[in-house]
Amino acid sequence: MLRALCQARLAAEAGEVPVGAVLAAPDGRLLAEAHNAPLRGHDPTAHAEVLALRQAGAALGNYRLGGCVLVVTLEPCAMCAAALVHARLAGVVYGAADRLAGAVSSCAELLDAPFFNHRVWHMGGIRSADCAALLRDFFAPRRLPGGEASPACWKGEGSHA
């Protein structure tokens, strides 16, 4: 998770929403490190998880990443959760919950959905305070005077504290 947090900080420095991810092979070898980059790449799918899956797929020469584990600082959204299933990932570990868009446990439980033909185990809340703090700090200047969140402001875990 510390490496994923480093990636999230790199995202913030680049003006991207600070979410970072790393992906490990079954033997623990690091296959990918990535952070959110939709602004830089003009790519709405460039979430940290998707970019890490692409890197790992290229490294292994296989889109199926059986036995691999993704570590990401924020609960995956619906797009990313589905991508984890398509990659046949073994599991995902995440930091902060995303009460507005999290699709693992907060808003939906996609990884446990019966219509998928593969199960990805999941574990959330790892270093969640650190992960949420990065998001809060990133979005704080974007809040309107008086503390009201702007429409573009992330309102997930910790932002109301």
Contact between 57 and 36 (Cβ < 8 Å): no
Residue nearest to Zn ion (CB): 80
SS3 track for 64-99: CCCCCEEEEEECCCHHHHHHHHHCCCCEEEEEECCC
Which residues belong to the active site? 49
Contact between 46 and 36 (Cβ < 8 Å): yes
- At its nearest, how many Å lie between Zn ion and the CB of residue 12? 17
For residue 138, what are its two tokens?
């990133």
- At its nearest, how many Å lie between Zn ion and the CB of residue 4? 14
Identify which range of 23-31, 70-78, 92-100, 140-148 contacts Zn ion by CB under 5 A.
Answer: 70-78
- Binding positions for Zn ion, 74-133, rule CB under 5 A: 77, 79-80
Question: Judged by CB under 5 A, how many residues of this single chain contact Zn ion?
Answer: 4
Residues in Cβ contact with 41 at an 8 Å cutoff, skipping those fewer than 6 apart: none
- With binding defined as CB under 5 A, does residue 22 bind Zn ion? no
Binding mask of the shown chain, residues 32 to 61, with x at each position contacting Zn ion by CB under 5 A: ---------------x--------------
Contact between 65 and 88 (Cβ < 8 Å): yes
Give the interface with Zn ion as residue ranges (CB under 5 A): 47, 77, 79-80
